[in-house]
């Protein structure tokens, strides 16, 4: 197999600060190890002596990197290399690459690596443009170019389940269904930075050193870090080491954004803050990290991954982090914070509590190793998940999803992936199959509150022929306890082969097992709308006829409980939704296609608003 790796380098003067180059430098030899013939087309060589190199021009700015592809050069390169696969590091260039493949008469597969997302999503599902790519209102053109790149690719690779959620949701807004093209390929770890946990000792000294090894752009949340730095050094327990990863930048780059230089000067002026440079030397970089007690994650809102966090964990540093994006998915929940006071308390504890530091220093490499596909990996040290099940929390707009995600991680004793805001239930479930590394995994809804006494170590794998097991959940408004909203153990292969049904998971191939154990509470009553929606969807499907083979008498008893019993927060809305759902099922009996509306969030919101007014979502 011949692979042509097209790589944009934004900082050729300091390659060690360019994550795209580092990834190519790690991936190209790995592809060669697998038997591929690799050529890297980039402004600077990457990989080892086995990798070919074709030098390309340095784009003057990040916008030129996205909008100025040279199709003539691409056609000539493709004809010369005759690749079977083309990897596009800059996904916005994929339409130009597809055009070049057409003109060159090549049938090569085009894989786009979504290395940097020009957008993110808030917890409420609102799309936000990345401010670093929104100069002169260019953010929306960049977003549309990104979507065009997704459409042009045969495969779309992202770094994390957070990125998968965001990319899928953004694609859906442009009517683009990624289908089976999307794959989660975690960022490769740099083995040169890995230390043996058995030999890792905390740095000596009276004060603990916290290291901040991220780019100092304002859009990385560096201003918030400057404020936190003042609080940290004021404690008298912590000193800070701030990495200046860029050194001297080219005038073109500073002209677009000079915030790194300004932030560096602000930090250098603080007492007990040391600004250091690795001078582009990875050995020096490792030594500077290893000489610290803990790392600090960036305050970047749209963070779908962080190479610098991975680097810290590789050398055995615990990392404290704001609860944002991928960071909340990846970082140990005990080290996440929401306020500066919580951050200071965590930093002081890591600096002064040797036992607490030792525990999280041991956990750091485990979190780091989770990025490396390994079917035999176990749980976090101290965790209870021993049967190699992954876990995913699937949320859309549930107000309590973040706190319930943390609760699930604590109870399972392992990192839980989260998919959020994916439009279309079938698409969301199918995407779950692409973010896990094991055939069987736990799946929880975004409103599921797991019983903290649930023991994952006692869970047996699914039997041959079984596609899913469903545990019972307690309904908080009518007291019913059955599979509605319950925890699931499910097969990845079954999701990939799923058929069509109104109740999406009822279309799984194979047998479905119903456990008698109760695993938690389905906290759907988080707002008037969410309570109403739960009653509406469930009773519409019960009135239509259960797709799980439930007896008619059981279905009638459950509908009666949904429509008549109500206690607890927003219970009246749940009962009203149940009655509305029964009425809808009668209306739709002669037009079965209308039942598809049950899986359309916008239609459900409009139906609720028409009947009950636009009630505020209260979390």
pLDDT in tens, 122-181: 766 788 999 989 999 999 999 999 999 999 999 999 988 888 888 988 998 888 888 779
List Cβ neighbours of 446 (8 Å cut-off, separation of 6 or more): 393, 394, 395, 396, 398, 401, 404, 405, 420
Average pLDDT in the 51-77 region?
93
Q: What is the pLDDT of residue 384?
A: 42
Q: Quote the mean pLDDT of the chain.
A: 89
What is 191-369's CATH number? Answer: 3.40.50.2000
Tens digit of each residue's pLDDT (9 = 90 or more) over 297-343: 999 987 888 889 999 998 999 999 998 888 887 888 899 999 999 99
Tens digit of each residue's pLDDT (9 = 90 or more) over 21-34: 888 998 999 999 99
CA dihedral for 325, 286, 413, 494, sign (positive or negative): positive
Query: What is the phi/psi pair of residue 504, to 5°?
Result: -50, -45
Q: What is the pLDDT of residue 379?
A: 40
Residues in the chain: 619
Structure tokens at 266: 């602000």
DSSP assignment, residue 193? Answer: G
Structure tokens at 459: 């869970």
Please check the confidence at residue 373 and state whether its pLDDT lies above 70: no
Q: Are strands 208-212 and 238-243 parallel, antiparallel or unpaired?
A: parallel
Average pLDDT in the 48-64 region?
92
Q: Look at the domain 374-523 and name its fold.
A: Spore Coat Polysaccharide Biosynthesis Protein SpsA; Chain A (3.90.550)
CATH 3.40.50.2000, domain 2-184, yes or no: yes
Structure tokens at 211: 């290291």
Domain boundaries, the chain: 2-184, 191-369, 374-523, 525-619
> Where residue 205 falls among pLDDT bands split at 50, 70, 90?
low
Question: What is the helix, strand, coil percentage profile of the chain, to 5?
Answer: 45, 15, 40
pTM: 0.74
Common-topology check for domains 2-184 and 191-369 = yes
- The more confident residue out of 119 and 366 is 119
Q: What is the pLDDT of residue 385?
A: 41
Q: What is the pLDDT of residue 103?
A: 98
> Where residue 534 falls among pLDDT bands split at 50, 70, 90?
very high
**Among 186-200, 460-474, 517-531, where is mean pLDDT lowest?**
186-200
> Where residue 381 falls among pLDDT bands split at 50, 70, 90?
very low
**Among 244-253, 443-452, 532-541, where is mean pLDDT lowest?**
244-253
Average pLDDT in the 473-492 region?
95
Please check the confidence at residue 566 and state whether its pLDDT lies above 80: no
């Amino acid at each position: 197999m011949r692979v042509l790796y097209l790589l944009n380098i934004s900082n050729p003067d300091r390659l060690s600060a360019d994550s795209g180059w580092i990834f190519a430098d790690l991936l190209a030899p790995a592809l060669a190890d697998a038997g591929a013939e690799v050529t890297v087309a980039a402004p600077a060589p990457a990989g080892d002596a086995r990798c070919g190199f074709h030098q390309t021009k340095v784009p003057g700015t990040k916008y030129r990197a996205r909008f100025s592809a040279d199709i003539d050069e691409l056609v000539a390169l493709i004809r010369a290399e005759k690749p079977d696969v083309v990897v596009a590091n800059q996904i916005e260039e994929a339409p130009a690459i597809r055009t070049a493949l057409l003109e060159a008469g090549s049938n090569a597969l085009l894989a786009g690596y979504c290395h940097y997302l020009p957008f993110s999503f808030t917890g409420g599902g609102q799309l936000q443009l990345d401010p670093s790519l929104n100069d002169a209102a260019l953010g929306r053109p960049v977003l549309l170019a990104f979507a065009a790149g997704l459409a042009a690719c045969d495969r779309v690779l992202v770094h994390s389940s957070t990125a998968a959620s965001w990319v899928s949701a953004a694609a859906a807004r442009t009517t683009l269904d990624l289908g089976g093209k999307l794959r989660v390929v975690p960022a490769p770890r740099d083995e040169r930075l890995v230390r043996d946990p058995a030999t890792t000792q905390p740095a000596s000294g009276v004060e603990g050193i916290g290291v901040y090894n991220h780019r100092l752009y304002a859009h990385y949340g560096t201003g918030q870090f400057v404020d936190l730095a003042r609080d940290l050094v004021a404690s008298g327990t912590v000193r800070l080491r701030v990495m200046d990863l860029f050194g001297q930048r080219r005038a073109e780059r500073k002209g677009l954004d000079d915030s790194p230089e300004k932030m560096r000067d602000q930090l250098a002026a603080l007492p007990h803050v040391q600004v250091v440079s690795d001078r582009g030397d990875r050995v020096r970089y490792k030594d500077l990290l290893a000489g610290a007690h803990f790392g600090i994650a960036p305050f970047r809102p749209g963070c779908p991954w962080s190479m610098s966090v991975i680097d810290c964990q590789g050398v055995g540093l615990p990392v404290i982090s704001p609860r944002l994006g991928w960071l909340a998915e990846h970082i140990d929940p005990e080290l996440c914070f929401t306020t500066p006071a919580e951050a200071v308390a965590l930093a002081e504890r890591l600096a002064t509590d040797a036992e607490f530091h030792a525990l999280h220093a041991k956990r750091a490499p485990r979190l780091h190793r989770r990025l490396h596909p390994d079917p035999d990996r176990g749980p976090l040290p101290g965790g209870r998940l021993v049967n190699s099940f992954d876990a995913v929390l699937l949320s859309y707009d549930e107000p309590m999803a973040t706190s319930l995600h943390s609760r699930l991680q604590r109870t399972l004793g392992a990192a839980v992936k989260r998919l959020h805001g994916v439009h279309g239930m079938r698409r969301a479930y199918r995407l779950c199959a692409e973010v896990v590394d094991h055939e069987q995994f736990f799946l929880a809804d975004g409103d599921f509150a797991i019983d903290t006494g649930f023991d994952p170590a006692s869970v047996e794998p699914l039997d041959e022929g079984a596609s899913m097991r469903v545990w019972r959940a307690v309904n908080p408004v009518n007291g019913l306890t059955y599979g509605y909203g319950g925890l699931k153990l499910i097969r990845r292969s079954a999701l990939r082969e799923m058929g069509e049904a109104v109740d999406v998971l009822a279309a799984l191939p194979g047998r479905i097992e119903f456990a008698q154990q109760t695993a938690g509470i389905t906290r759907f009553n988080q707002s008037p709308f969410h309570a109403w929606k739960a009653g509406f969807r469930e009773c519409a499907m019960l009135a239509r006829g259960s797709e799980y083979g439930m007896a008619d008498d059981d279905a009638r008893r459950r509908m009666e409980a949904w429509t008549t019993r109500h206690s607890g927060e927003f219970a009246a809305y749940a009962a009203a939704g149940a009655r509305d759902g029964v009425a809808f099922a009668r209306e739709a009996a002669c037009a079965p296609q209308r039942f598809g509306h049950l899986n359309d969030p916008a239609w459900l919101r409009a139906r609720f608003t028409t009947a009950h007014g636009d009630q505020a979502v209260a979390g």
